[in-house]
Amino acid sequence: MRASSSRMGAGFECGAAALRTPRAVVATDCGPVAWRESEPQGGMEDMSRPANRRRTRRAPALHAILAALALAGSVPTTVRLAAAQTFAIGHTRLTFTDPARGNRQIPVEIYYPAAAPGENVPVGGPPGTRYPVVAVGHGFLLPVSAYAYLWTGLVPAGYIVALPDTEGDLSPSHLDLGLDLGLVASELQAESAGNPASLFYDRVENTAAAMGHSMGGGASFLAAAQNPVISALASLAAAETTPSAIQAASQITVPALVFAGSLDCVTPPAQHQIPMYSALASDCKTYVSVTGASHCQFAEQNVLCSLGESGCQTPAITRAQQHALTLSLLGPWLDYALKADLGAWQEFQGLIAAGSGITTEQSCDVVAVGEENSPGPTAGLRIESFPDPFRQATAIRFGLAAGGPVALTVHDVHGRAVRTLIRSELSAGVHRATWDGRDERGRPLSAGVYFVRATAGENVAVRKVTLAR
**What residues are paired with 399 via a beta bridge?**
430
Is 40 part of any domain? Answer: no
Collapsing DSSP to helix, strand or coil, 42 comes out as coil
What is the Cα–Cα distance from 327 to 257, expressed in whole angstroms?
A: 12
| Last residue of one domain, picked from the residues 336, 365, 394 | 365
In this structure, are 329 and 407 located in the same domain?
no
In this structure, are 334 and 456 located in the same domain?
no
Is 9 part of any domain? Answer: no
Collapsing DSSP to helix, strand or coil, 114 comes out as strand
Per the CB < 8 A criterion, the answer to whether 465 and 451 are in contact is yes
Query: Model confidence over 48-63: pLDDT tens digits?
Result: 333 332 222 223 334 4
At 196, give phi and psi (nearest 5°): -60, -20
CATH number at residue 95: 3.40.50.1820
In this structure, are 383 and 250 located in the same domain?
no
Residues 6 or more apart whose Cβ sits within 8 Å of residue 314:
none
Is 305 part of any domain? Answer: yes
CATH number at residue 416: 2.60.40.1930
Rounded to 10 degrees, what is the CA torsion of 23, 29, 32, 38? -100
CA atoms 193, 398, 404, 375: torsion sign: negative
- pLDDT tens for each residue of the chain, 469 residues long: 444 555 444 333 222 222 223 333 222 233 222 222 233 333 333 333 333 322 222 233 344 434 444 444 443 333 334 345 799 999 999 999 999 999 999 999 999 999 999 999 999 999 999 999 999 999 999 999 999 999 999 999 999 999 999 999 999 999 999 999 999 999 999 999 999 999 999 999 988 999 999 999 999 999 999 999 999 999 999 999 999 999 999 999 889 999 999 999 999 999 999 999 999 999 889 999 999 999 999 999 999 999 999 999 999 999 999 999 999 999 999 998 888 777 788 899 999 999 999 999 999 865 555 555 544 444 457 788 888 889 889 999 988 888 889 999 999 887 788 899 999 999 988 899 999 999 888 888 888 889 999 988 888 888 889 998 7
In this structure, are 312 and 337 located in the same domain?
yes
**What residues are paired with 358 via a beta bridge?**
290
Q: What is the pLDDT of residue 4?
A: 52
In this structure, are 272 and 348 located in the same domain?
yes
Query: Model confidence over 281-329: pLDDT tens digits?
Result: 998 899 999 999 999 999 999 999 999 999 999 999 999 999 999 999 9
What is the Cα–Cα distance from 424 to 408, expressed in whole angstroms?
A: 9
Q: Which of 286, 331, 468, 276 is nearest to 391 (CA)?
A: 468
| Last residue of one domain, picked from the residues 308, 332, 365 | 365
**What residues are paired with 235 via a beta bridge?**
212, 258
Q: What is the pLDDT of residue 286?
A: 97
> Helices (DSSP H) in 284-437: which residue ranges?
303-308, 319-339, 342-354
Per the CB < 8 A criterion, the answer to whether 430 and 437 are in contact is no
Is 73 part of any domain? Answer: no
In this structure, are 308 and 412 located in the same domain?
no
**What residues are paired with 452 via a beta bridge?**
410, 463
Beta strands 358-365; 131-137: pairing state:
unpaired
Query: Model confidence over 99-138: pLDDT tens digits?
Result: 999 999 999 999 999 999 999 999 999 999 999 999 999 9
What is the Cα–Cα distance from 38 to 417, expressed in whole angstroms?
A: 38
What is the Cα–Cα distance from 332 to 341, expressed in whole angstroms?
A: 8
In this structure, are 170 and 282 located in the same domain?
yes
What is the Cα–Cα distance from 83 to 68, expressed in whole angstroms?
A: 18
Look up the domain containing 419 and give its range. 376-467
Is 2 part of any domain? Answer: no
Q: What is the pLDDT of residue 16?
A: 27
What is the Cα–Cα distance from 415 to 424, expressed in whole angstroms?
A: 21
pTM for the predicted model, two decimal places: 0.72
Q: What is the pLDDT of residue 448?
A: 85
Q: What is the pLDDT of residue 53?
A: 29
Is 50 part of any domain? Answer: no
Per the CB < 8 A criterion, the answer to whether 280 and 251 are in contact is no
What is the Cα–Cα distance from 166 to 354, expressed in whole angstroms?
A: 39
In this structure, are 193 and 317 located in the same domain?
yes
| Last residue of one domain, picked from the residues 341, 365, 389 | 365
In this structure, are 154 and 224 located in the same domain?
yes
The total domain count for the chain is 2
> CA–CA distance from 200 to each of 91, 319, 367 (Å)?
12, 33, 35
In this structure, are 135 and 241 located in the same domain?
yes
Q: What is the pLDDT of residue 388?
A: 85
In this structure, are 263 and 349 located in the same domain?
yes
In this structure, are 278 and 325 located in the same domain?
yes
Is 13 part of any domain? Answer: no
Is 34 part of any domain? Answer: no
